[in-house]
């Protein structure tokens, strides 16, 4: 099954040596003797042809099964001793042949032997064979180390098959066989590490570990009726025999027949009777600690429950009779495994239920360690629990999850009542805030509407005022137009001589008509007729100021107008010329003077446009 090529193993020396060659020859001969012994023992039982094709020869002569078993055990011990001894140089170890021997031995299960009626003797020898080969395999792992990594899966399967095979054994040797198999598994994990294949076999491993860790209570022995009747008959026969021999001389040895046989076990005998099971329990606890350090919570939950339940039973009821936990070593190892339960990590996708369960287990483990530190009878166990509690209290924040006090179950789709109340309160608060915002926006909208209405009313009022002022100005112009203009006949030369050039206003007599000359701030002269003064003030002021026009009109009304009959042809001609010149100057004045817009009306229009543009969006 495995290649028979040699594997280099040993010291640091190089080259061949007679001692190394002798060592290799002795090793090979021992392996051959083991093969011959297995051929004798498993004759007619083996079914794997790959393991038996190279070693079909049986031991020479008439060899009993007991002799073949002794030869196998002796050679296994010899090979183990050879591997423990140091060597001067490199030696060639036939690793393939040795692994074939181990596989051939462990492939035959207890059920295969028990099914054959003629193999009763082999059934009793099978635990001894298992134990010897497993001890050899453990020594091989210590020596070869990582060279066995390619064969690790096959070795794990062999150990698990051995453990499952020993559950049907009724011999007391089965506990030692289980201890040897668990020790090999522990060495594999310590040497090669924990891989994915270990995790895939976690269910089967957990099942086998629970068998050794759990406390087994002895059933109550019931005395059968048949046994009592047979004992009464024996007593009656003994009484009749004594009566017949009354006259004969009695021997001293016969006086002990009437005494009841009492089986009193001392404490040492109790420890001896529980020793095999204690060895298996110790090995199972040690491997459980390694498994809990590497497994995730989903794979280790069942094993953790069994360990914590065992610790609770031990503290509540105490160890039963013939229990391995009577020994302090088992209790110490148990509390080390309890501490390992607190270090099991949660996987990334675990739910709330697993989180709460792990939290409860950590609390229970801390309570068990605290109780054992105070109540255990052994100082060594108390010291161990104290150390574990100190470590746990210093590092509990690293592995204990942060969980709310009340969490809904993932399996139940119904929402929690408290959570629904919180959601309803949150929604009501959000609705209240939205309602307040809506009310504020409505109030702001109404305020802006009122402001716009007031501005429009003010604009209408201003328009009415400007219209009224325009009407009054026009009425004044009509009254001035109907009045008789003052015409004075003076010489133009005398008027020009009497006029002051620095005055801002001048009265020029043009063809006997009085005309006002005004200077703007830029210094340019502007000709304004007194009859058009009202029209000039109309465009500049919101409220016209026709004072000057009124004064002129009053003066014209108060001055006596010339009569028609007194007008001569010369005066009529002068009047006609005066009207023509007055019309020309009016047109020139209209061209020079441009009406200005009212600044207040412009400011009001700008204010209205700003309010209209800044009006916010209404929800």
DSSP secondary structure of 472-505: HHHHHHHHHHHSPPPB----HHHHHHHS-TT-SE
**pLDDT band for position 612 (cuts 50, 70, 90):** low
Instruction: Tell me the three state secondary structure of residue 349.
Output: coil
Q: Is the pLDDT of residue 88 over 70?
A: yes
Element (H, E) at 519: strand 513-519
Q: The tokens 């046994």 sit on which residue?
A: 227
The arithmetic mean of pLDDT across residues 68-92, rounded, is 86
Instruction: List, as one string, the DSSP characters of 393-428.
Output: HHHHHHHS----SS---SS--SPPHHHHHHHHHHHH
The arithmetic mean of pLDDT across residues 452-474, rounded, is 88
Q: Is the pLDDT of residue 223 over 70?
A: no
Q: Is the pLDDT of residue 458 over 70?
A: yes
Structure tokens at 246: 């009354």
Q: Is the pLDDT of residue 184 over 90?
A: yes
Give residue-wise pLDDT tens across range 564-604: 445 566 667 677 777 777 777 677 666 555 455 555 667 77
**pLDDT band for position 9 (cuts 50, 70, 90):** low
CA distance 329 to 176: 17
**DSSP for residue 164:** H
The arithmetic mean of pLDDT across residues 68-74, rounded, is 91
**pLDDT band for position 392 (cuts 50, 70, 90):** confident
The arithmetic mean of pLDDT across residues 52-56, rounded, is 53
The arithmetic mean of pLDDT across residues 156-165, rounded, is 92
146 contacts 84 by C-beta, under 8 angstroms: no
Nearest CA-CA partner of 538 in 586, 596, 461: 596
Would residue 248 be called left, alpha or beta, if left means φ above 0 and alpha means ψ between -120 and 50 degrees? beta
CA dihedral 46, 48, 53, 57 (to 10 degrees): -10
Q: Please give, one letter per residue, the 3-state secondary structure of 61-126.
A: CCCCHHHHHHHHHHHHHHHHHHHHCCCCEEEEECHHHHHHHHHHHHHCCHHHHHCCHHHHHHHHHH
51 contacts 104 by C-beta, under 8 angstroms: yes
Q: Which residues of 405-422 are buried (b: 16+ CB within 10 A; e: fewer)?
A: eeeeeeeeeeeeeeeeee
Q: Is the pLDDT of residue 525 over 90?
A: no
Q: Is the pLDDT of residue 183 over 90?
A: yes
CA distance 41 to 107: 13
Strand partners, 353: none
**pLDDT of the residue at 504:** 41
Q: Which of 117-121, 122-126, 202-206 has the highest mean pLDDT?
A: 202-206
Q: Is the pLDDT of residue 382 over 70?
A: yes
Give residue-wise pLDDT tens across range 300-322: 999 999 999 999 999 988 888 88
**pLDDT of the residue at 484:** 44
Q: Is the pLDDT of residue 401 over 60?
A: no
Residues in the chain: 619
Q: Is the pLDDT of residue 547 over 60?
A: no
CA distance 72 to 113: 18
Q: Are strands 513-519 and 505-510 parallel, antiparallel or unpaired?
A: antiparallel
Instruction: Tell me the three state secondary structure of residue 517.
Output: strand
Strand partners, 8: 92
**Phi and psi dihedrals of 320, rounded to 5?**
-75, 175
Structure tokens at 609: 């446009």
Any idea where the domains of the chain sit in the sequence? 1-193, 271-408, 474-490+516-619
24: number of CA atoms within 13 Å, CB side?
19
Quote the Cα angle for 156-158-163, to 5°.
Answer: 95
Average pLDDT, the chain: 74
Name all contacts of 235-242 with Cβ < 8 Å and 24+ positions apart.
none
235 vs 563 pLDDT, higher one: 235
Please state which of the ranges 175-189, 296-310, 485-499 shows the lowest mean pLDDT.
Answer: 485-499
C-alpha distance across the termini of the chain, in Å: 85
93 vs 524 pLDDT, higher one: 93
CA distance 291 to 119: 37
**pLDDT band for position 204 (cuts 50, 70, 90):** very high
**pLDDT band for position 275 (cuts 50, 70, 90):** low
**pLDDT of the residue at 158:** 93
**pLDDT band for position 238 (cuts 50, 70, 90):** low
Q: Which of 16-25, 180-189, 220-229, 385-394 has the highest mean pLDDT?
A: 180-189
Structure tokens at 239: 């009484």
332 contacts 381 by C-beta, under 8 angstroms: yes
Give residue-wise pLDDT tens across range 404-442: 555 555 555 556 678 888 888 999 999 999 999 999 999
**pLDDT of the residue at 515:** 43
Please state which of the ranges 80-94, 205-219, 542-556, 587-601 shows the lowest mean pLDDT.
Answer: 542-556
177 contacts 166 by C-beta, under 8 angstroms: yes
256 vs 235 pLDDT, higher one: 235
Structure tokens at 484: 């008789």
48 contacts 107 by C-beta, under 8 angstroms: yes
**pLDDT band for position 110 (cuts 50, 70, 90):** confident
Give residue-wise pLDDT tens across range 329-361: 999 999 999 999 988 888 777 788 888 888 889
């Amino acid at each position: 099954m495995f290649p028979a090529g040699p594997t280099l193993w040993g010291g640091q020396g190089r080259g061949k040596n007679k001692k190394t060659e002798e060592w290799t020859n002795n090793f090979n001969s021992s392996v051959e003797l083991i093969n011959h012994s297995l051929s004798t023992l498993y004759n007619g039982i083996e079914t794997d042809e790959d393991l038996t094709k190279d070693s079909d020869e049986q031991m020479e002569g008439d060899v009993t099964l007991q002799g073949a078993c002794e030869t196998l055990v002796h050679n296994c011990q010899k090979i183990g001793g050879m591997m423990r001894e140091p060597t001067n140089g490199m030696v060639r170890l036939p690793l393939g042949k040795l692994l074939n021997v181990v596989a051939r031995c462990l492939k035959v299960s207890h059920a295969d032997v028990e099914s054959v009626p003629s193999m009763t003797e082999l059934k009793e020898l099978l635990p001894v064979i298992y134990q010897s080969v497993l001890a050899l395999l453990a020594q091989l792992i210590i020596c070869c180390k990582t060279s066995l990594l390619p064969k690790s899966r096959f070795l794990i399967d062999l150990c698990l098959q051995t453990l499952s095979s020993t559950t049907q054994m009724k011999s007391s040797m089965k506990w030692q066989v289980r201890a040897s198999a668990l020790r090999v598994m522990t060495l594999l994990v310590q040497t090669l590490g924990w891989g994915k294949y270990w995790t895939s076999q976690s269910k089967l491993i957990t099942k086998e570990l629970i068998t050794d860790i759990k406390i087994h209570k002895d059933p109550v022995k019931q005395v059968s009726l048949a046994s009592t009747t047979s004992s009464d008959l024996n007593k009656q026969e003994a009484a009749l025999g004594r009566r017949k021999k009354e006259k004969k001389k009695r021997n001293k040895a016969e006086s002990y027949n009437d005494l009841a046989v009492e089986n009193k076990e001392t404490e040492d005998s109790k420890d001896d009777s529980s020793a095999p099971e204690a060895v298996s329990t110790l090995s199972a606890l040690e491997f459980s600690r390694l498994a809990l350090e590497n497994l995730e919570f989903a794979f280790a939950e069942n094993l953790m429950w069994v360990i914590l339940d065992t610790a609770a039973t031990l503290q509540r009821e105490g160890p039963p009779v013939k229990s391995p936990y009577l020994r302090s070593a088992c209790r110490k190892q148990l509390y080390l495994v309890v501490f390992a339960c607190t270090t099991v990590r949660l996987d990334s996708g675990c739910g709330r239920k697993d989180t709460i369960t792990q939290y409860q287990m950590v609390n229970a483990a801390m309570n068990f360690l605290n109780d054992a530190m105070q109540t255990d009878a052994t100082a060594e166990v108390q010291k161990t629990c104290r150390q574990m509690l100190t470590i746990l209290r210093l590092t509990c924040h690293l592995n204990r999850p942060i969980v709310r006090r009340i969490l809904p179950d993932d399996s139940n789709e119904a929402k929690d009542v408290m959570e629904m109340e919180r959601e309803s309160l949150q929604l009501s608060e959000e609705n209240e805030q939205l309602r307040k915002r809506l009310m504020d926006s409505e109030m702001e909208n109404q305020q802006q509407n009122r402001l716009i209405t007031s501005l429009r009313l003010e604009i209408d009022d201003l328009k009415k005022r400007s219209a009224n002022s325009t009407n009054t100005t026009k009425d004044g112009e009509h009254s001035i137009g109907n009045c008789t203009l003052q015409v004075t006949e003076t010489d133009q030369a005398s008027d020009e001589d009497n006029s002051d050039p620095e005055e801002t206003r001048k009265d020029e007599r043009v063809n006997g008509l009085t005309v006002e000359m005004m200077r703007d701030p830029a210094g340019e002269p502007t000709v304004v007729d007194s009859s058009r003064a009202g029209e000039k003030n109309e465009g500049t002021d919101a409220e016209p100021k026709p004072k000057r026009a009124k004064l002129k009109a009053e003066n014209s009304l108060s001055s006596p107008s010339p009569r028609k009959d007194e007008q001569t042809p010369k005066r009529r001609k002068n009047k006609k010329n005066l009207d023509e010149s007055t019309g020309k100057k009016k047109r020139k004045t209209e061209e020079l003077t441009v009406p200005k817009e009212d600044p207040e009306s412009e400011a009001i229009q700008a204010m209205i446009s700003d309010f209209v543009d800044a009006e916010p969006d209404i929800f």
